[in-house]
Chain A
């Protein structure tokens, strides 16, 4: 292990790290947005839209991100829909994550027991009140563990971006290995940067999960 090499590569890795984080979190934001909207669509069984949502969820849950990205980045331009690599990464991750998030939010909504709805209605709450102060708070805490798992999964999936020549961590590592053949140093830095990216999320996620559980059973 040559530490001089490591220090000289550091700026390149930091740049790639920032790009990976940026696109990763944009993708996650998109996926949460899609997830919330589609979970409501599926929960209230809005005709036609919910059928499309179901097909979308099944297709994206059952195909790998790498294939989806190839299709979006190389396939779609052939029929006149071309986007930049960065946008493609964010959109691809967002669409993949959206299908996972939809399932998590929906199962959270469905896990609130029907007796709660009935009791709230018996107390004379309106539909809006019922939804706002009975179902939604419980559904949110119920879906927290799944959402944390999804966020970690999506951040890990960002490593696939290198395949569409986005200058992310993986791409930088591969590039440097190819150029200078310092395999050990490059892989060491790669691991370190992924730990910096994911360990805080993992630890914070466990803490949030514990908080959500306390709120669920305590209050």
Chain B
């Protein structure tokens, strides 16, 4: 079946290292996305026309442009058009943060506007000042709505980082291909075993996170 290739030498360890590269890129991008997304999401709730138009265009670009196209534009396009040389890892982080920030900002905006004005009014009636209103009333509710969704963003980021292979980063899929090529003669069926293993590895990386997100969403529903 081709699974035996993985037991040869340090093939399995190399594969795991490859997964590590993909996970590293996705975690860095997620951190950027969450911080920038929260700021942008808050800006979007301000009723400023200029900000509104710019963010609408930004969100629409992210909504309709495949991440792969953005990767190519940053990695190949920027070098050719502007003469700046960005490494593959950096361009992956730039693209995935650009994408993640838009997703996150939309979530933040959604949860901010879903808090009814009556809550602000009630807190004022109870004699809380603006800061207290935010600390005791608004932020706890927003956090409960946002945490499951941001965790979900992590799994989507991990899945999307598999694309970095296309701009030449050696991550788990590329390592898999190398292993298959190197063992073409000795085990011709390696492709099945190696790709099945990679599929399982991605599943092991993403599934617990999805479960956690689903669990928190249910727990904090009300």
Partner-binding segment picked from B45-53, B61-69, B112-120, B124-132: B61-69
Interface range on chain B (Cβ under 8 Å from partner): 35 or more
User: What B residues does A75 contact at CB under 8 A?
Assistant: 191-196
- Whether A59 touches B203, Cβ cut-off 8 Å, given contacts A78-B192, A170-B68, A187-B76, is yes
Contact B64 A67 (CB under 8 A): no
Q: DSSP majority for the B interface? A: helix
**A68 vs B203: C-alpha distance in the bound complex, in angstroms?**
11
Do the beta carbons of A63 and B68 come within 8 Å of each other?
A: no
**A68, closest chain B residue (CB):** B199
CA distance A58 to B198 in the complex (A): 16
A sample of 24 cross-chain residue pairs with beta-carbon separation below 8 angstroms, ordered by A number, consists of A58-B210, A62-B206, A62-B207, A63-B203, A65-B159, A66-B165, A67-B162, A67-B198, A67-B202, A68-B199, A70-B173, A75-B191, A75-B194, A78-B1, A156-B64, A160-B163, A170-B68, A170-B72, A184-B80, A187-B73, A191-B69, A194-B64, A194-B65, A198-B65
Residues of chain A within 8 A of B73, CB atoms compared: 187, 191
> Which B residues from 64 to 111 make CB contacts under 8 A with A?
64-69, 72-73, 76-77, 79-81
Within residues 78 to 98 of chain A, which ones have a CB less than 8 A from any CB in chain B? 78-79
Q: Could you tell me the distance between the alpha carbons of A162 and B69 in the complex, rounded to whole angstroms? A: 12
Closest 4 CB pairs of A and B: A159-B66, A198-B64, A62-B206, A64-B162
Q: Which of A63, A68, A194 is the one whose CB lies under 8 Å from B66? A: A194
User: A10 an interface residue at 8 Å Cβ cutoff?
Assistant: no
A-side interface residues, number (CB < 8 Å): 40
Q: Closest CB-CB distance, A200 to chain B, in whole Å?
A: 10
CA A64 – CA B157 in complex, angstroms?
10
Q: Roughly how many angstroms separate A178 CA and B68 CA in the complex, as a whole number?
A: 17
Cβ-defined contact, A159 with B199, below 8 A: no
How far, in whole Å, are A67 and B160 apart by their CA atoms in the complex? 11
Q: In the complex where A64-B162, A183-B77, A198-B64 touch, is A71 in contact with B69 (Cβ < 8 A)?
A: no
Contacts of A43-83 to chain B: CB distance below 8 A = 58-59, 61-68, 70-71, 74-79
Interchain CB contact (< 8 A) of A156 among B60, B66, B80: B66
Whether A141 sits at the interface, judged by CB under 8 Å, is no
* Minimal beta-carbon separation of A192 from chain B (angstroms): 11
Determine whether the beta carbon of A74 is less than 8 Å from that of B80: no
Tell me if A163 counts as interface (CB < 8 A to partner B): yes
Interface assignment of A125: CB less than 8 Å from any CB of chain B: no
Inside 8 A of A190's CB, which chain B residues have their CB?
A: 69, 72
Within 8 A of A (CB), among B191-219: 191-196, 198-199, 202-203, 206-207, 210
- Taken together as a complex, chains A and B put the C-alpha atoms of A88 and B201 apart, in Å, by 22
Instruction: Determine whether A195 belongs to the interface, using a CB cutoff of 8 Å to chain B.
Output: yes
**How far, in whole Å, are A98 and B72 apart by their CA atoms in the complex?**
28
Collect the chain A residues with CB atoms within 8 Å of residue B176's CB: 70
6 further contact pairs, Cβ within 8 A, besides A64-B162, A177-B76:
A62-B206, A64-B163, A71-B198, A75-B192, A78-B192, A170-B66
Query: What does DSSP make chain A's interface, helix, strand, loop or mixed?
Result: helix
Cβ proximity bits A97-134 to B, threshold 8 Å, 1 near / 0 not: 00000000000000000000000000000000000000
The chain A residues found within 8 Å of chain B, CB to CB, are 58-59, 61-68, 70-71, 74-79, 152, 156-160, 162-163, 170, 173-174, 177, 183-184, 187, 190-191, 194-195, 198-199, 202
- Asked if A76 and B206 make an inter-chain contact with CB atoms under 8 angstroms apart, the answer reads no
* A183 partner residues in chain B, CB cutoff 8 A: 76-77, 79-81
In whole angstroms, how far apart are the Cα atoms of A66 and B163 in the complex? Answer: 7
Question: With A70-B173, A163-B166 in contact, is A79–B202 under 8 Å at CB?
Answer: no
Give min CB distance, A98 to chain B, whole Å.
16
Measured CA separation A68–B195 after assembly (Å): 8
Q: Is B189 an interface residue (CB 8 A)?
A: yes
Contacts of A191 in B (CB 8 A): 65, 69, 73
User: Which residues on the A side are within 8 Å of B198 (C-beta)?
Assistant: 67, 70-71
In the bound complex, residues from chain A placing their C-beta under 8 Å from that of B72 are: 170, 173-174, 187, 190
